[in-house]
Each structure stands twice: as structure tokens, then as C-alpha cells.
Amino acid sequence: MARAARQPVLWWWLTTKLPKRWSRCWRAGCELTGAVDPAQVVRLPAHDVLPFENLSPHPDVQEQRAAALWKLATGAVSILIAPVEAAALKLFDRDYYAGLAVTLRRGEEVDVEVLTGHLASVGYTQMDLVEMPGQFTRRGGILDVYSPESDRPVRIEFFGDEIETLRNLIRKRSAPNRGLDEAQFLPLTETPVTERLLAAVHGRLSRQRVELAGEDDEMAAELAAAGGVSGLSGVGIFLRCGRGG
């Protein structure tokens, strides 16, 4: 069906448990038949909390949803399996989710400050030593990033703003360490947390209209600078459920 339609097919369920079980069955079936690449059978989980419960979804759920929505936006999904709660939730446009991940290529120029800021906004945590997915560390012109769904971290070595080398970070000295031409870092949250976004949420909660485009960017920045913005639990659910038009 997915091959004939030439677009993603949505397979939705009324319960939240069956999609997880059936996603494994679908991948196994695709692997045996070769009808669809098993990697393009993707599960979109529902949030494990309700909107306005003043709670944030579990980090694993946020990570799975962010990766699934990014794959869907970039055309890397043939079959999307989701419970009805996830399928019915209002989403942002395709470009929004397509911009969550970062792809780096050897030889290109990148602003390291902008890159680390983006990683932090999509859920990565800066650490002294990278040990688990979702972490990154920076030491001068060396940046180590551990992307979810990756086997090991990637080390990015800069010469100024230019990416000089990309390679997998392997602890064992005897193991071969091949260079990479490119590396991709998936998001851990579908709602990047930035000061502008938090300022907009603050404005909405205080019955002010704050847009994140054009001249109203200055208003969001002023609200953030005024110290009236703080982290809000469940901010991503609030934005999608409360977004008009």
C-alpha cells in the first residue's frame, strides 16, 4: 500500500499499547518481504501526560516523538504507526520539524556557538564527558556529540569555523576509527526550548499576543530580558493544543 501510494501510510489504533507491538511485526514483515525498508516503519507514540497537567512527558517519549516527526517531515517514513491520541494531536508545519535535526559535513563552515545552542535547545545536555545519547561536550575546537539512535558519539574537530574532521569516538585504542564524510544529530524534543519561545508562552498565559516573527521578535526578547520567563512543564503540549488557526 505504501509503495503504491508513494506517500506515508498512517496505521492508527485506539489503544496506546498495540502500536508498539505492531511496529515490531511490521518491521519484521518488511524485512522478510522487502516491500518497504524496515527503517521506514516508524512509530509515533502519544504523550504519557495530558495537556495542562503541569507535567512534562517522559524523556523517552519526547525523544521517540521528535525523531519520528523529523523522519516524517523529511520523507524518511513509509508506514507511520500511531495511537489515535498521537494522530489527532495538532502539529506544526513540515519545515518546523525538518529543522530539528542537524547534518554536518566535512569541510563546511559552521558557527560553533550557534551549533551548540541549537543542540541545547533540542534537548542535548552539555557534560564534561560524553557517555550517553543526548549529551555533548566542547573543549576548544573539539566537539563530541552523542546522537540518539547512534551506536557511539561523533567527534567534530574544527579549524576555525571549518569542520576539519568527523569521526566516531571509540574508546578502545585497538579498534579502527574511520573518518566520516557527514554526521547527523537527531533531536530529543519536538519543541525546542528557546528564550523567544518561552517569552511567547509567557505572553499567551498573560493574555498578551506575542508573535515569533517580524517586529514582535523584539517584544519576545524584551520579555525574556525582563526576567519574566522561566521553564514551563508541558510547554510543547500547551503550544500545540492552544495554537490557533
Class of CATH domain 2-92: alpha beta
Q: Is the pLDDT confidence value at 61 over 70?
A: yes
pLDDT tens figures, 71-122? 999 988 888 888 888 888 888 889 999 999 999 999 999 999 999 999 999 9
Residues 114, 89 contacting (CB under 8 angstroms):
no
CATH second-level architecture of 102-185? 2-Layer Sandwich (3.30)
Percent of the chain's residues with pLDDT above 90: 36
Cα–Cα distance for residue pair 222/227, rounded to 1 Å: 9
Residues 201, 216 contacting (CB under 8 angstroms):
no
pLDDT at 1: 55
Domain with CATH 3.40.50 in the chain: 2-92
Q: Is the pLDDT confidence value at 48 over 90?
A: no
pTM of the model: 0.72
Task: Compute the 3-state secondary structure of the chain and give helix, strand, coil in percent, each to the nearest 5.
Answer: 35, 20, 45
Q: Is the pLDDT confidence value at 150 over 70?
A: yes
Question: How long is the chain?
Answer: 245
Domain with CATH 3.30.2060.10 in the chain: 102-185
